[in-house]
Structure formats: structure tokens, C-alpha cells
Amino acid sequence: PQVIFSGIQPTGIPHLGNYLGALQNWVKLQNSSPPGTKLLYSIVDLHAITVPQNPEQLRRWKRESLATLLAVGLDERKAVLFFQSDVQAHSELMWILSCTASMGYLSRMTQWKSKLALEEGASPLDESSKAKLKLGLFSYPVLQAADILVHRATHVPVGEDQSQHLEFARECVTNFNHTYGGEHLVAPQTLLSPAKRIMSLTDPSSKMSKSATNPSSRILITDSPSTIKRKLASALTDSSNSVSYSPSSRPGVTNLLHLLSAFDSTGKSAEELGMELERSGMGLGAFKSLVAEAVSEGLKGVRERFERVMGDEGYLEGVAERGAVRARESAGETMKIVRKAVGL
Ligand code: AQP
């Protein structure tokens, strides 16, 4: 039977990128998987602390992330929803995998190289800034591998930027199974998200992100219609007062067309909508209002459910506790195999 695992960091209230790029797909998988499929969706709080976090705020973000999972339509009766740090086996397996994972492979990971500014064209970090980089930032792909492998996941839905980490998780399986002679761990397959990457509203060359400093760069799934309207009205586009689809020459307008298409009830693609609106002669002001209305309408139910769930602390705690129990059970089965193989 299939085991599907994926995670989201509690580093802020999820935005449209998280929703369209990941969460919507999680719900789809939940509702379309054949009976017997095991689904696990984790709020990966141990990953969030690879950068400094304020404890109070982290606790709030964790609650808000769980409320988001429920608000978008995940159902604890169909999927195991849990906090990573409630299941200690994730950290334990990470350590065990660290002992067979190679430093060389980790240092070639794109995200690490970008931290060191080792990509072509970037000016490399000086020695003292390099010395301050944290070990967790280097080794978190091992934790990510443990998250997946500890539940014997067969399929992991992720965005393009995560393919390399999945590749690394498979490498961890090969290393471990080779070292301890046997098919102890299961190699997961990547399920690439069908959705486009949603870009920042204020800088369409970078992705929409929870931790970008400018809050107007992202639309939260909890934003009110007036906030959505304001953020879209100030979205960076270009100087031509018309609508057309062109990822290379009009990245801002094209990003908004992707948003419109994602919430378009007729299922038209961003290209089709672009051509239609170009023909109609619509200006950018009216276009932004149109996108704002579509997004507000599309998020209405999510926003209402989020408010309801956030108001019921007891229910949220119950979901987390029940999820933790089931996730510990699932991880425990693998840890028995792993501990036996290693001789612990
Ligand atoms: N802009 C995006 N477009 C499409 N998909 C996106 N995802 C994130 N941003 C976009 C997808 O959301 C899932 C959960 O992401 P995450 O919280 O684990 O971390 P992230 O990818 O680093 O997302 P953020 O919002 O940018 O968070 P911070 O600021 O904390 O780093 C993933 O499946 C991701 O692909």
C-alpha cells in the first residue's frame, strides 16, 4: 500500500504559494487516494528552528499552521496530522542516518551552496561569516530524509525546489541498507506538484515566501478581502497598461494571471485568460481588482474555517494529540527494524 508523507514549516501563516503549490495538492491526494493508503502530513517545527525563532511566536505559528491544515480541508480521520517534534523517532533516525550519510553529498546541495554564496556569479562568504553558519542548516536534509523514511513513505509530494532533497533521502536509504545489509528502509518516490511556483507580489523574480520581510509580498490564506485588494493593488507589474501573458517580459502580470487561473471556476489556463483579457482591452487597475475578487472568493471558506478552528483551542490540542499517537505508532515500526539492524 502507498504511504504518502509531506511537511510544512510553521514559519508563519501559510500564503497562496504554500496553498496552491502544496496544500491544495495534499487535499487532492487525501480525497483521491485508494482505500488503504496511509497519509501523513506533518508540521515540521524542528526544521523551523534552523533559523532563530521567538518561542512564543513559534508556538503561535504552530497552532496557526495546524488550523490551516484543517481549514484547507485536511481531515484527521483520513490523514495523520501531527507536529514533528511530538515524534522523537524523527530526531533519533536523523542521528542514525547521519552516521551513514556523506558530507560530500550534503555540501553539494543547492540550498547549502546558496547560503555559502558558492553559485556562479555570487561573491563567496568571508571566513568569519562562514564560521558562524549553523550545523543544523547544513544537516537539515538528513532530518528531512528521516521524516520521510521513518514512516516508510513511498510517495512524497513536493515542489521542484525539493527534488534534490528527495534524491538525498534515496541516497540515505542506499547508504543505510548497504551498510547494514538488507532492505531495512524504503526508497520514496517524488510526486512533483503540478502547480506553478507563485512569485512574490513585490518582486516577481523571487518566490512568494513566509519569511520575506515585506508582508505585502504575500497573500495569507487568512487575509480579509480588503487586505487582499490592497496587496494586489500595490503588486509590482510594469509600465504597459494592458494584460498579456509573458513569463519572460511581464513576470508580474503573468504571476497575477496564474493566481486568477488558480481560482477561475471555468478552469481556464493563465495563457487563455491572458489572451482573453488582452482582447477585451482591460487595464491593469481593473485587472488587479478582478484578481482580488477571485482570490477573496476562493479563500472565503478557508478563512472562515480557520477562524472557527482557531477559536477552539481544545479541539486543536485534541487533533495534535491524536495525530501524535498515530505518528509515533507509525514511526515506531520502522525504528524497531532500524535499531535491530544497527544493533542498538
Ligand atoms: N511560492 C511558492 N509557490 C509554490 N509553492 C510554494 N511552497 C512554498 N512557497 C511556494 C511550497 O509550500 C510547501 C511548504 O513550504 P515550507 O513551509 O516547508 O517551506 P518553504 O518552501 O521554504 O516555504 P516558504 O513559504 O518560503 O517558507 P520560509 O519562508 O519559512 O522558507 C512546500 O512544498 C513548498 O514547495
CATH number of the domain within which 26 lies: 3.40.50.620
Q: What is the distance between the alpha carbons of residues 78 and 172, in angstroms, rounded to a whole number?
A: 29
155 and 298 inside one domain: no
For the segment 173-181, the average pLDDT, to the nearest whole number, is 98
Given a cut of 70, is residue 234 above it in pLDDT? yes
122 and 250 inside one domain: no
ipTM of the complex: 0.97
181 within some domain? yes
Q: What is the distance between the alpha carbons of residues 6 and 157, in angstroms, rounded to a whole number?
A: 6
Residue 130 designated active-site: no
Given a cut of 80, is residue 115 above it in pLDDT? no
290 and 329 inside one domain: no
Supply the DSSP symbol for 287: H
Residue 196 designated active-site: no
Q: CB of 17 closer than 6 A to ligand 1?
A: yes
159 and 238 inside one domain: no
Which domain does 226 fall in, by range?
Answer: 222-307
The proportion of the chain whose per-residue pLDDT surpasses 70, expressed as a percent, equals 99
Given a cut of 70, is residue 119 above it in pLDDT? no
318 and 186 inside one domain: yes
189 within some domain? yes
CA nearest neighbour of 163 among 190, 186, 138: 190
Q: Which grid coordinates belong to 132?
A: 558562524
How does pLDDT run across 15-45, given as a tens digit for each residue?
999 999 999 999 999 999 999 999 999 999 9
Ligand 1: centre distance to CA 177 (Å): 31
Q: What is the pLDDT of residue 5?
A: 98
86 and 143 inside one domain: yes
The proportion of the chain whose per-residue pLDDT surpasses 90, expressed as a percent, equals 88
Choosing from 5, 18, 163, 258 the residue with most ligand 1 atoms within 8 A of its CB, the one to mutate for a pocket test is 18
213 within some domain? no
pTM: 0.95
336 and 189 inside one domain: yes
CA nearest neighbour of 101 among 32, 175, 51: 175
Q: Which CATH number characterizes residue 252's domain?
A: 1.10.240.10
Question: What does DSSP say about strands 38-43 and 3-8: parallel, antiparallel, or unpaired?
Answer: parallel
Q: CB of 184 closer than 6 A to ligand 1?
A: no
78 and 160 inside one domain: yes
For the segment 248-275, the average pLDDT, to the nearest whole number, is 96
CA angle at 189 for the pair 75 and 20, rounded to the nearest 5°: 45
Residue 113 designated active-site: no
Of 62, 210, 229, 231, the active-site residue reads 210
Number of domains in the chain: 2
Q: CB of 216 closer than 6 A to ligand 1?
A: no
Question: Which residues are CB-neighbours of 141 under 8 A, at least 6 positions away?
Answer: 106, 109, 165, 168, 169
Where does 49-162 have alpha helices with state H? 55-71, 89-98, 103-107, 110-115, 127-132, 135-149
